[in-house]
Amino acid sequence: MEVVRLLMIRRSFLLLLLLPVLGAAGTLLQTYIVQLHPHEGGSEAVSASGSRLGWHRSFLERSVAWEQEKRPSSRLLYSYHTVFDGFAAQLADAEAAALRALPGVASVRADRRVELHTTYSYRFLGLNFCPAGAWARSGYGRGTIVGVLDTGVWPESPSFDDRGMPPVPVRWTGVCQGGERFNVSNCNRKLIGARFYSKGHRANYPTNPSEAVSLLEYVSPRDAHGHGTHTASTAAGAAVAGASVLGAGAGEARGVAPGAHVAAYKVCWFNGCYSSDILAGMDDAVRDGVDVLSLSLGGFPIPLFEDSIAIGSFRATARGVSVVCAAGNNGPARSSVANEAPWVLTVGAATLDRRFPAYVRLGNGRVLYGESMFPGEIGLKKGGKELELVYAVGGTRESEYCLKGALDKAAVAGKMVVCDRGITGRADKGEAVKEAGGAAMILANTEVNRQEDSIDVHVLPATLVGYKEAVELKKYISSARRPVARIVFGGTRIGRARAPAVALFSARGPSLTNPSVLKPDVIAPGVNIIAAWPGNLGPSGLEGDARRSNFSVLSGTSMAAPHVSGIAALIRSAHPSWSPAMVRSAIMTSADITDRQGKAIMDGDGGRADVFAMGAGHVNPARAVDPGLVYDIQPGDYVTHLCTLGYTHMEIFKITHTGVNCSALLQKNRGFSLNYPSIAVAFKNGAKSAVLRRTVTNVGTPNSAYTVQVAAPPGVKVSVAPTTLSFAEFGEQRSFRVTVEAPSPPAAKDCAEGYLVWKQSGGQGKHVVRSPIAVAWVVE
């Protein structure tokens, strides 16, 4: 009976998602986010209405007609009042237009959907039990709270065990929200809070009832997809001995900040994440008392005044919350980086030096390198059964990509099928081959994927080969009378590959909306990351996968962001009074620009990684908790920065909820430049020089001095004054001026890069504070 009841709940929830939302006279409704102007009668209106919620409802009463016996306020989905002033509601186009015309309404915009962009990674980051290390200096992140906005959490995972955890911080005001298969007993001293937000998703989901929908969704904070469980445990998961993915990648799993508390905010469902739900989650999280907000979601770059994540994170930052966001997976395209707001910490993805080799031994004796996490039997490590190779059976594009139903069962039965990447998920292709009777699969990168090697826990013997190997493989198939191959699984290998390197898919700069700030800020492990996994899903993430594992492997900037969220938690624990800007500065200026072999970090598309791929470099937690100097930024400085970019009064209000006169502000702050830890200069319309001012705060030892070292970008002259900074006391500030001169851009280039370093001098010279320099020439 309980199973039947749960299925009925799920079906009811999904039917709500599938039903068209109609207003009066059958008018189709959609969700709008309405921003209000509190300085235009807002306080009086709130008092007259009795509450902020009543004030929000009053706008609907004035713009929406009654529907039979339903009040217009029944259209309200969310009432925001912490990171955003306004509400979300279901409206017809005409009603949205009527709202825009009301006094006190700043903007009305349609809801927007965004996408969801470990046993070893903590060791790769240098986190260990050394008394002088980041864990020891920060108490493993104890006392900090990491809020994760994602697909929810699987509370029974051993990564959320609270043994050894301190009590819940007294400042915490969050809740453990009940729902399907989730109640207050699922929270503990590790997982201290959980909420879910589905109103925006229900209102926005397409109305086609024939579209196939999974019933494996929980109307509660419980995670049905794995992404949220994976990211939360990466940031702050507890220690779990003997962790592995069905035997692969075995070791002890730990989050980056294993002593920190976790709060889960489920804002993403089977069809993505909607801005109205995300804003509601951020609104609650900041009010609940989180120290760090981790968002592994986003999309393509859009103007800041239209970006709900940028808007919500501004107020979160102003309230002292560090916001960490994924850069996105749209690389290596230029200017593809998302979550570009200068008040968030934007994270790209990098590789580890851990590999899972699965070689393809061809019938002609050639061996092609591939990777896989198929947990094959021991015999497969010596070489599986030799099988006949087939590719594009039927000669259709659908069969090349191994789409479900496109494979001729008679042609693939008992054979090793080659499938091109693209259109469907990598693991889905393996399932399609298995369902068609294939015995094994080789997943072949296309030219777009190049040598990128994100692996999966496939449901049949399978391996992924790079584009170069794929070309050779297909040439062999087309030329051999009876092409055959076998897959040889090589287990887990550590330390044999150069790493870190920027992942091919990691989004790149320069920023489209704000080229004067270098994005992404840093890179962190994001390829083949092993972390916690829900108990309702097989490790492949496929519904038909009956295997179960407490851990699985995922790749993406979604995996990189929670690594940095964990580092931010460590820094907040070690330095609780630091602002979000100081935390970000510590992470950026301490980052590495060389790999584990001491060579330049490489790019996933070949060659040396530039600053638009890796930002300041690869995170280094041990140095980040003790950076020596930091660049601080006050919330008001961001407002001035937006004025320098030419944003209008209303655009700045939409972002910051602050009314501003840019002319007066810029007159007062002549020569203003944002005190960002990196230096980005965009020369426009023939400009040849720029002067920037920076201020650093001493968070290291008193009576210390730093000397500047500059490596100017090619063709660019960079001078710094003064060249030495002396600090008598802890917390003391010193300013310097950077002059960048470029008579003309380098031949055939529109950008160049270098760096500026403040190096501690004397016997205490352990601190090196590094800032990348990016110079771009822009023609408008």
First to last CA, the chain: 67
Residue 621 token pair: 């937690």
The residue annotated as part of the active site, out of 150, 277, 291, 595, is 150
Q: Which of 227, 261, 575, 641 is catalytic?
A: 227
* Longest pairwise C-alpha distance within the chain: 85
pLDDT number for residue 66? 72
196-228 pLDDT tens trace: 999 998 887 754 433 444 446 899 999 999 999
**CB 519 within 8 Å of CB 337:** yes
Let me know: does 341 contact 310? Beta carbons within 8 Å. Answer: yes
Q: Which sequence spans correspond to the domains of the chain? A: 30-110, 145-205+216-352+500-624, 357-491, 629-633+674-777
Continuous segment of H or E residues that includes residue 410:
helix 409-412
Q: Please, which residues have CB within 8 angstroms of residue 303's CB and are 6 or more apart in sequence?
A: 513, 651
Write the CB contacts of 441 (distance below 8 Å, at least 6 apart in sequence).
Answer: 402, 416, 417, 418, 419, 429, 430, 433, 458, 460, 461, 462, 463
> Which stretch of 6-20, 246-260, 518-532, 709-723 has the lowest confidence by average pLDDT?
6-20
> Are the C-beta atoms of 174 and 286 separated by less than 8 Å?
no
Does this model's pTM top 0.85? My answer is yes
Is pLDDT above 70 for 721?
yes
Q: Is the pLDDT of residue 101 over 80?
A: yes
Looking at 3.40.50.1100, 1.10.3720.10, 3.30.70.100, 3.50.30.30, the CATH number of the domain 357-491 comes to 3.50.30.30
Which residue has 């509400």 as its token pair?
87
150 noted as active-site residue: yes
> Which distant-in-sequence residues (6+ apart) come within 8 Å of 35 by Cβ?
84, 85, 86, 105, 106, 107, 108, 109, 654
Which of 573, 588, 776 has its CA nearest to residue 682? 776
Per-residue pLDDT reduced to its tens digit, 224-272 = 999 999 999 999 999 999 999 998 888 889 999 999 999 999 999 988 8
Catalytic residue, from 107, 157, 276, 558: name it: 558
pLDDT tens-place string over residues 160-205: 999 999 999 999 999 999 999 999 999 999 999 999 999 998 887 7
Taking the C-alpha atoms of residue 54 and residue 60, their distance in angstroms, rounded to an integer, is 10
CA distance 205 to 213: 11
From CA 193, how far away is CA 155, in angstroms rounded?
A: 10
Q: Which two tokens stand for residue 671?
A: 């020569």
145-205+216-352+500-624 belongs to which homologous superfamily?
Peptidase S8/S53 domain (3.40.50.200)
For 271-301, what is each residue's pLDDT tens digit?
A: 889 999 999 999 999 999 999 999 999 778 8
Distance CA 385, CA 487 (A): 8
Task: For residue 579, indicate whether it is catalytic.
Answer: no
Higher pLDDT, 498 or 756: 756
Active site residue 641: no
Instruction: Kindly indicate the confidence band of residue 126, based on its pLDDT and cuts at 50, 70 and 90.
Output: confident
Residue 453 has pLDDT above 90, yes or no: no
Q: At 497, is the secondary structure helix, strand, or coil?
A: coil
Q: Is 559 helix (H, G, I), strand (E, B) or coil?
A: helix
Q: Is 474 helix (H, G, I), strand (E, B) or coil?
A: helix
Alpha helices in 65-109 (DSSP H): 93-100
Q: What is the pLDDT of residues 18-45, one digit of tens each?
A: 444 555 555 788 999 999 987 554 455 5
Cα(358)–Cα(351) distance, integer angstroms: 18
| Strand pairing category for 440-444 and 416-420 | parallel
CATH of domain 629-633+674-777: 2.60.40.2310
Gap between the Cα atoms of 80 and 679, Å rounded? 35
Closest CA to 110 of 96, 94, 98: 96
Print burial letters for 700-711: b (CB count within 10 Å at least 16), e (below 16): beeebebebebe
**What distance in Å separates the CA atoms of residue 430 and residue 283, rounded to the nearest whole number?**
41
Is it true that 145-205+216-352+500-624 and 357-491 share their CATH fold?
A: no
Residue 379 has pLDDT above 50, yes or no: no
